[in-house]
Amino acid sequence: MGRSPCCDESGLKKGPWTPEEDEKLLHYIQKNGHGSWRTLPRLAGLNRCGKSCRLRWTNYLRPDIKRGKFSQEEEQTILHLHSILGNKWSAIATHLPGRTDNEIKNFWNTHLKKRLIQMGFDPMTHRPRTDFFAALPQLIALATLRDQLAATACGGGGGGDTAAAAAAQIMQGAGGGGGGGGGADVAIQAAKMQYLQCLLQSAASTIASAGSGGGGGGAMSAHDADAALAAAAAAAATCSSSPAGSSVPITPTAVGHSGGGQTQTTPCAFSEAPVITSDDVEANLRLLGCGGGGADAFTCHGGSLPPLADLSDVTTTTMTNPLDWCSATASASSCGGGGGASSPFPWPEFFHDDPFITDFL
């Protein structure tokens, strides 16, 4: 499309518009209509290119533009339409009177996208992330963290790493009281699993989200990496705040999922969206290791999209009830790791050979 950009002409002003320029443009369009954008600047006495004038008019000067914060209804509309249309901002804007595509795009990029990521959803598909392999870099990092955990828990030291310290608290709280016996082991193991679960889920969702945009390639941007780290930190904090010795599972509510049979507690703007199938829900729950979710745990995203990964063959053979996962895990092995032979942990089988994974089983 060898078209030379309209702004190539030298001498045309760029950058922020002055009130005087705004006034000129406004008066001209109100008087004559915009007509041809290319000729408009000259006729209006503006030293701008037509493109710049059009943008200024459509995004700022147009009289019907609604300014100010987006309402809850608008937010829901954007989320719902985006789940259907994707980044078709102009199409989305047609459903939001007074809002420009640019404004919606900005709102999405600065608010909604981040929120979805932090909730553990893929902002492109509006579905919970299930890309386990995308989290492998995080697993490696977690392996290092695990070593720190072991050192902290056994040595009883303080630990500068927040996550490590939190996990150490979990472990110590669960195992506290000394001798422990079987019950303490169960609690410790459960705490470990829950902590790992939170970290993995968070890492998988955020990292996969970051790498999911645009046709599959691409390195993660620093921005997304930050979001990932933030989400991981949030998940870790959530895990650490739960009483490890209790029987209440640490659900991923903090990152947007609901577990333990309760409904979504995080404010969810997808409530009007179609409900995904129970099969999808179960597959997601199994992979994420989130116990006890009902179908209503994932009512917040579009149901028309295919699953991100077909996990049924991996998961259905290992467990049939997400709740079994935790209960079985809790009785699997002792704190030192060692080893339960046949684990209900829903990893692909070849992961059972991984020292890091097996140590948690």
Partner DNA sequence: AATGAAGGCAACCGCAGAAGG
Partner DNA sequence: GCCTTCTGCGGTTGCCTTCAT
For DNA, the closer of residues 111 and 133 by Cβ is: 111
> Which residue lies nearer to DNA by CB, 113 or 286?
113
Which residue's CB is nearer to DNA, number 89 or number 345? 89
Query: Does 118 interact with DNA (rule: CB under 7 A)?
Result: no
Rounded Cα gap, residues 70 and 158, in angstroms: 45
Q: Specify whether the backbone of 75 is left (phi greater than 0), alpha (psi in -120 to 50) or beta.
A: alpha
Extract the tokens encoding 318: 């290992």
Q: Under the criterion CB under 7 A, does residue 87 sit at the interface with DNA?
A: yes
Interface positions, 44-63, toward DNA (CB under 7 A): 50-52, 54-56, 59-60
15 interacts with DNA by CB under 7 A: yes
- Give the residue with the Cβ less far from DNA, 1 or 341: 1
Stretch that binds DNA, among 11-19, 24-32, 129-137, 152-160 (CB under 7 A): 11-19
Q: Pick from 269, 209, 284: which is nearest to 83 by CA?
A: 269
Nearest 5°: phi and psi at 128? -60, 145
User: How many positions of this chain bind DNA (CB under 7 A)?
Assistant: 40
Tallying the residues shown for the chain, one arrives at 361
Stretch that binds DNA, among 3-11, 76-84, 142-150, 303-311 (CB under 7 A): 3-11
216 burial via Cβ count (<10 Å: 0-12, 13-18, 19+): exposed
* Site for DNA contains 31 (CB under 7 A): no
Nearer to DNA by Cβ, of 41 and 293: the residue is 41
For residues 112, 80, 262, 192, the Cα torsion angle rounded to the nearest 10 degrees is -40
Does 14 help bind DNA (rule: CB under 7 A)? yes
Tell me the C-alpha distance between 68 and 46, whole Å. 28
Per CB under 7 A, which of residues 93..112 are in contact with DNA? Answer: 101-103, 105-107, 109-111
The yes or no reply on residue 358 touching DNA (CB under 7 A) is no
